[in-house]
Amino acid sequence: MTIRVPSRLINFVLPLCLLAAVNAARAATPADVEKIATYQGSDRASFLEQGARREGQLTIYTVGAQIDPLLAAFRKKYPFIAVQTYKADTPDITRRVLDEYGAGVTTVDAFELNDYGLAPLRDAGALATFWSPELKNYPPDAIEPNQHWVVMREDVISLGFNTKVIDPGRAPKTNADLLSPAWRGRLGLYGGEAALATWVGTLLLSEGEDFLRKVVAQKPTVYNMGGRAVANLIVSGEAPLVINARRSHIFASARDGAPVAWRAIGPSFASVSAVAIAARAPHPYAATLFTDFMLSEQAQKIYRYDLGYTSRRNGLAMPDDPKDKLYLGSRPHFQRDFEKWSQLATQLLSDGP
């Protein structure tokens, strides 16, 4: 019997198989990666640098442009490492890595990613345990129990607005203020999958579903674009009031002279980002240098003073940090909750209350 395979299937599967074969030839085993990533010898710096010179490459999976100033500093320090990045929303990155590892493809070396995106990768055996001399500068709760990642920075999500379009004295000061008839049809929402799900989760936990539905009844406009792009709409006045804006984006715009402000109007989602190494990193020496650098004082000062994040490194917290922050990614059943919140967001914001 002759079996005919559609050409389009061949065109899809064959490159993936070839890529998997190439990766199998060059990828380090998890044991090899962990041995390098946990090395604590007195010659550690030269050991890693010599290995990274031989590798000459590094591929990072991350969520956005916030990493660019840090990569510029990393490239300056290690000019012999060619750095590539893949940027996407956290759920997309998690799915991509699980698919790649399932197909035997090992492209990624390191991550700068939210904790809730890293947890499924850890559970699937896609993350390496690592050590860094910088660990002593971080509180214990920032370090995953088996050292699969270290939380480096936090961003807080709440109200961002244009101060020329909306007088700061009139802008909402509490979640309850969002229900004023004055804001009907004037509220904005950043529409990324994770952004909407965590916004729904934050309001459900802090105010309840009844309140969430009342906010949706205010007919907010959902902006299906990147978080930085939404912040630019706040700057221009096209989206003068966004209720799930990132503080870091508003900080950067205000620093550059834009008429914008940010304030916490209720319990706020703290989006935490961590650094991690892939279990089968093709370039483990460079990946370990990267984690050391990202945890360093130099890198964390860029996050804190240039980009407006709260650093988890001791001594670099933001002075205006909200007191009431929700660490959703630390919830014991976060993945289940996330799916529920995502489905509810789709239902409410597609069909109305």
Segment 150-165 shows an average pLDDT of 95
Q: Does domain 7-153+272-311 have CATH number 3.40.190.10?
A: yes
Token digits for 300? 């964390």
What does the pLDDT look like over 125-149, one tens digit per residue?
Answer: 999 999 999 999 999 999 999 999 9
Do the domains at 7-153+272-311 and 155-270+324-348 have one common CATH topology? yes
| Domain range annotation of the chain | 7-153+272-311, 155-270+324-348
3-state SS class at 196: helix
Token digits for 296? 């360093």
Segment 61-75 shows an average pLDDT of 93
Beta strands in 247-299 (DSSP E): 260-263, 268-277
Backbone torsions φ then ψ of 234, nearest 5 degrees: -65, -45
Q: Which residue has the tokens 């965590």?
A: 198
Residue 215 in contact with residue 266, Cβ under 8 Å?
no
Q: Does domain 155-270+324-348 have CATH number 3.30.750.24?
A: no
Give CA–CA dist 266/299, Å, rounded.
30
CB under 8 Å to 152, separation ≥6 — which residues? 112, 142, 273, 274, 275, 294, 295, 299, 300, 303, 311, 312, 313
What does the pLDDT look like over 289-323, one tens digit per residue?
Answer: 999 999 999 999 999 999 989 999 998 877 777 88
Give CA–CA dist 143/311, Å, rounded.
13
What does the pLDDT look like over 71-113, one tens digit per residue?
Answer: 999 999 999 999 999 999 888 999 999 999 999 999 999 999 9
Closest residue by Cα to residue 159 from 119, 203, 127: 203
Output the pTM of the full model. 0.80
For the chain, the average pLDDT equals 90
257: left (phi over 0), alpha (psi -120 to 50) or beta: left
pLDDT at 17 over 80: no
Q: What's at 335, amino acid-wise?
A: Q
